[in-house]
């Protein structure tokens, strides 16, 4: 399986790092920069260096605003039943289909923890994509974390508001939590250590448990205890619930406007 990736910056590079060990796959990258690529990845700086080489999959990993000028040169290098995969945020399937008529196209929405192989990724394909194309893209994205297929492009915008933008929400929560720990007298270093380990510990516990998250919350909240005193503030009148609905709705609205 020959895979061509066009653009290999932060996100393309993160994915490639996780793919380097996959069997029966060879990767070629076109990017003008001098890159530190995993061993065995072929690097070219421009499309003409590919000569007549053909690829089974073409991955769009340049910035969305570059797609229309950069990508048309690569269409002829994709085999007839090959698959175009785009990780570009906010660049629609319709736009990709206009550039690559009749081709199988998969839009992939990874998130930043792809950098450490822990992405929560959304996937959506057009009708030309076969079961085999989908299986191949699932295989690649599961090597970078977790992947979920969605039934429509609108659903991909909704997913963008959850997992695409989600790392930002989580970083904000962590930041506020650290500031609160500092206001109770901890040094920044200790506050950061305690908060991050608490976030990781609670998250991993939730991931390894079959119990509902609400049940886990109740299990650590004894009546009249410290957790209950804190949660009474955090949960006052459903403020946090409403805030999360407003947060994700705003991100969804923006994702739709960008497409």
Contacts of 79 (CB under 8 A, 6+ apart): 54, 55, 56
Query: Quick one: which of 3, 4, 5, 8 contacts ligand NAP (CB under 6 A)?
Result: 8
By beta-carbon proximity to ligand NAP, the closer residue of 78 and 112 is 112
110 lies in the site for ligand NAP, by CB under 6 A: yes
Size of residue set near ligand NAP by CB under 6 A: 22
206 lies in the site for ligand NAP, by CB under 6 A: no
Quote the least distance from Cβ 123 to ligand NAP, whole Å: 13
Three-state secondary structure call for residue 58: strand
Please check whether residue 157 is in contact with residue 259, taking contact to mean a CB–CB distance below 8 angstroms: yes
Using CB under 6 A as the binding rule, the residues of this chain from 57 to 96 that contact ligand NAP are 61-64, 66, 70, 87-89
By beta-carbon proximity to ligand NAP, the closer residue of 9 and 201 is 9
- Phi first, then psi, for residue 4 (nearest 5°) are -110, 125
Q: What is the DSSP letter of 72?
A: G
161 lies in the site for ligand NAP, by CB under 6 A: no
157 lies in the site for ligand NAP, by CB under 6 A: no
Report DSSP letters for 101-170, one per residue.
Answer: TT-EEEEEE--GGGGGT-EEEEEEE-TT--HHHHHHHHHHHHTTEEEEE-SSHHHHHHHIIIIITHHHHH
Dist. CA 159–CA 146, nearest whole Å:
13
Contacts of 135 (CB under 8 A, 6+ apart): none
Q: List alpha helices for 36-79, DSSP H.
A: 67-70
Quote the least distance from Cβ 148 to ligand NAP, whole Å: 15
Three-state secondary structure call for residue 45: coil
Quote the least distance from Cβ 62 to ligand NAP, whole Å: 4
Quote the least distance from Cβ 69 to ligand NAP, whole Å: 8
12 lies in the site for ligand NAP, by CB under 6 A: yes
* Both structure tokens of 69: 């000028």
145 lies in the site for ligand NAP, by CB under 6 A: no
Contacting range for ligand NAP; rule: CB under 6 A; set: 25-33, 169-177, 195-203, 208-216: 25-33
Query: Quick one: which of 31, 37, 74, 161 contacts ligand NAP (CB under 6 A)?
Result: 31
Report DSSP letters for 182-217, one per residue.
Answer: HHTT--HHHHHHHHHHHHHHHHHHHHT--S-HHHHH
112 lies in the site for ligand NAP, by CB under 6 A: yes
246 lies in the site for ligand NAP, by CB under 6 A: no
By beta-carbon proximity to ligand NAP, the closer residue of 89 and 216 is 89
Dist. CA 178–CA 173, nearest whole Å:
9
Quote the least distance from Cβ 160 to ligand NAP, whole Å: 8
Residues engaged in binding ligand NAP (CB under 6 A): 6-12, 30-33, 61-64, 66, 70, 87-89, 110, 112
């Amino acid at each position: 399986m020959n895979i061509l990736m066009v653009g290999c910056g932060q996100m393309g590079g993160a994915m490639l790092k996780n793919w380097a060990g996959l069997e029966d796959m060879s990767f070629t990258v076109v990017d003008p920069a001098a890159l530190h690529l995993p061993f065995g990845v072929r690097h070219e700086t421009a499309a003409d260096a590919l000569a007549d080489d053909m690829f089974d999959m073409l991955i769009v990993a340049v910035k969305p605003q570059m797609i229309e000028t950069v990508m048309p040169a690569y269409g002829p290098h994709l085999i007839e039943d090959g698959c175009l995969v785009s990780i570009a945020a906010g660049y629609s399937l319709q736009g990709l289909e206009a550039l690559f008529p009749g081709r199988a196209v998969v839009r992939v929405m990874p998130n930043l923890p792809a950098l450490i192989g822990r992405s929560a990724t959304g996937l959506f394909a057009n009708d030309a994509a076969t079961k085999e194309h989908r299986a191949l893209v699932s295989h690649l994205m599961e090597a970078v974390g977790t992947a979920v297929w969605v039934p429509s492009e609108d659903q991909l915008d909704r997913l963008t508001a959850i997992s695409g933008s989600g790392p930002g929400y989580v970083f904000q929560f962590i930041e506020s939590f650290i500031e609160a720990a500092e206001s109770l007298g901890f040094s920044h270093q200790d506050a950061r250590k305690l908060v991050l380990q608490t976030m990781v510990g609670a998250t991993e516990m939730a991931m390894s448990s079959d119990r509902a998250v609400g049940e886990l919350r109740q299990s650590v909240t004894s009546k009249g205890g410290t957790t209950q005193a804190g949660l009474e503030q955090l949960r006052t009148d459903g403020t946090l619930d409403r805030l999360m609905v407003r947060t994700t709705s705003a991100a969804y609205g923006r994702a739709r406007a960008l497409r």
